[in-house]
């Protein structure tokens, strides 16, 4: 196989220059955090009251929301990949809404439907005594709302990459739909499943707008790392930078782990 670049594929020099500038622009916040971080005082600032609770709550809510996103996103990704029905394009548009909505609007929407005076929230409170706003469960709901599309889109791409003849062959041998999904389809999309889960977890960890609007900012209960970082900006910029680094590192790790998983999603 020839490795030479065809003349028609060569980017104009101006594109190369602009591309380098764009990459630098996107890297600037990361570079700024690394250079600004007060590493010498990190231990003292990260052991202050409330920081540990914010870290634990963020990890808990990100993990729980990822589990919810996988439970809901895998079947929905399968439907979008394989099912044919009127309104399929509309369903995909609905899936993309959380990606395009400002997080604040997402929080207001959740509050209007799941708040104590919301349509579903009133019913949950009256019948089951469940109140989601301003609770840890509310944080999980808010971050799952913004993370779920990452799982759905990733799984749809993964399902589309599977050779459906394998499932048909298993069906001809007597396997039912559930058996085909469990023994053939899901093992083949395992890389997409892992990628979707990792992306959802990273997105959940950094969610701010929907969380603060729907769940509030109660220390030890709903105050996640992004909310604690926002409060730190008012009094201690160095601590805000360190808390930001705590969210940056997992994101970089996720991207590093997924570096070989992008091709199946394209």
Q: How far apart are CA 66 and CA 199, in angstroms?
A: 9
Helix (H) or strand (E) holding 28: helix 13-36
Can you give the pLDDT of all 266 residues of the chain as single tens digits?
Answer: 444 445 556 778 898 899 999 999 999 989 999 898 888 888 888 888 889 999 999 999 999 999 999 999 999 999 999 888 898 899 999 999 999 999 999 999 999 999 988 889 889 888 888 889 999 999 999 999 999 999 999 999 999 888 777 767 767 767 777 777 777 788 888 889 999 999 999 999 999 999 999 999 999 999 999 999 999 988 889 899 999 998 998 888 888 877 665 444 44
Complete domains list, the chain, with CATH = 49-265 (1.10.3720.10)
Dihedral angle computed from the Cα positions of residues 177, 182, 187 and 190, in that order, rounded to the nearest 10 degrees: 100
pTM value is: 0.85
What residue ranges in the chain does DSSP mark as E strands?
none
Confirm if 196 and 150 have CB atoms less than 8 A apart: yes
d(CA 209, CA 213): 6
Alpha carbons 203 and 122: distance in angstroms, whole number = 29
CB atoms within 10 A of CB 63: 15
Nearest to 137 by CA among 68, 202, 201: 68
């Amino acid at each position: 196989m020839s490795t030479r670049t065809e003349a028609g594929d060569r980017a104009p020099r101006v594109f190369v220059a602009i591309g380098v500038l764009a990459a630098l622009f996107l890297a600037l916040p990361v570079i700024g955090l690394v250079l600004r971080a007060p590493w010498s005082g990190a231990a003292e600032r990260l052991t202050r009251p409330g920081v540990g609770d914010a870290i634990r709550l963020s990890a808990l809510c990100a993990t729980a929301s990822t589990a919810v996103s996988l439970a809901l996103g895998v079947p929905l990704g399968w439907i979008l990949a394989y099912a044919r029905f009127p309104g399929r394009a509309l369903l995909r548009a609905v899936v993309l809404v959380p990606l395009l909505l400002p997080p604040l609007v997402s929080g207001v929407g959740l509050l209007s439907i799941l708040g104590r005076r919301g349509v579903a929230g009133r019913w949950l409170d009256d019948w089951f005594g469940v109140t989601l706003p301003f609770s840890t469960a509310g944080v999980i709901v808010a971050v799952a709302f913004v993370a779920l599309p990452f799982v759905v889109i990733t799984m749809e791409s993964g399902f589309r990459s599977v050779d459906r003849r394998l499932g048909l062959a298993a069906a001809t041998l007597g396997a039912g739909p559930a058996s085909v999904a469990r023994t053939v389809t899901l093992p083949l999309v395992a890389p997409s499943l892992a990628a979707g889960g990792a992306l959802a977890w990273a997105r959940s960890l950094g969610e701010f707008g929907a969380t603060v609007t729907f769940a509030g900012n109660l220390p030890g209960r709903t105050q996640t790392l992004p909310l604690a970082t926002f409060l730190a900006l008012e009094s201690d910029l160095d601590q805000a930078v360190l808390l930001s680094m705590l969210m940056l590192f997992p994101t970089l790790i996720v991207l590093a782990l997924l570096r070989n998983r992008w091709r199946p999603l394209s």
